[in-house]
Structure 1
Amino acid sequence: MHLSTKKIAFSGLLLALTILFTILSSVFETSTFFFLAAASYLVGINFRESGVKFGIGFYLSAILLSIILVPNKLYCLTFATISAYIVIMEIIRVYLTKKELKKLATTNRDSIEKKSNAFFYSIKFVVFNVLYLPFLFLFPGLLYSGEISPMVYILFIIGGQIIFVIYDMAYDVFIQKYWKRIKKSIIRN
Structure 2
Amino acid sequence: MHIKAKKMAFGGLLLALSVICMILGSVIETGTLFLLAAASFFVGIIFREFGRKTAAAFYVAGVLLGLILAPNKLYVATYGMMGFFILTEETAWERLSGWNAGVRKKSAVLWGIRYAVFDLIYVREVLFLKKMMFPSTLPFWATAGILAVGQAVLWLYVGAYGYVQRELWGKLRGHIFQA
TM range (shorter): over 0.9
Question: Percent same amino acid at aligned positions?
Answer: 33
Q: Deviations over 1:114-143 (max 9, x none)?
A: 211111112111111111110111123234
Name the amino acid aligned to 1:12. Answer: G
Name the amino acid aligned to 1:159. Answer: V
Q: Deviations over 1:4-46 (max 9, x none)?
A: 2101110000000000000000100010000000000011111
Name the amino acid aligned to 1:9. Answer: A
Measure how far apart 1:60 and its partner are: 0.6
Normalised TM-score (structure 1): 0.88
Counterpart-to-counterpart distance in 2, 1:187 and 1:56: 22
Counting matched residue pairs gives 177
Q: 1:117 aligns with which of 107, 110, 114?
A: 107
* 2:16 pairs with 1:19: no
Cα RMSD (Å)? 1.5
Name the amino acid aligned to 2:167. Answer: K
Q: 1:146 aligns with which of 111, 136, 156?
A: 136
Q: Which residue number corresponds to residue 173 of structure 2?
A: 183
Measure how far apart 1:163 and its partner are: 0.8
Counterpart-to-counterpart distance in 1, 2:55 and 2:163: 20
Counterpart-to-counterpart distance in 1, 2:106 and 2:172: 28
Measure how far apart 1:188 and its partner are: 3.5
Q: Which residue number corresponds to residue 137 of structure 1?
A: 127
Q: Which residue number corresponds to residue 126 of structure 1?
A: 116
5+ residue gaps, structure 1:
104-110
Normalised TM-score (structure 2): 0.93
Name the amino acid aligned to 2:135. Answer: S
Q: Which residue number corresponds to residue 95 of structure 1?
A: 95
Counterpart-to-counterpart distance in 2, 1:55 and 1:187: 18
Q: Which residue number corresponds to residue 50 of structure 2?
A: 50
Q: Which residue number corresponds to residue 163 of structure 1?
A: 153
Counterpart-to-counterpart distance in 2, 1:143 and 1:156: 13
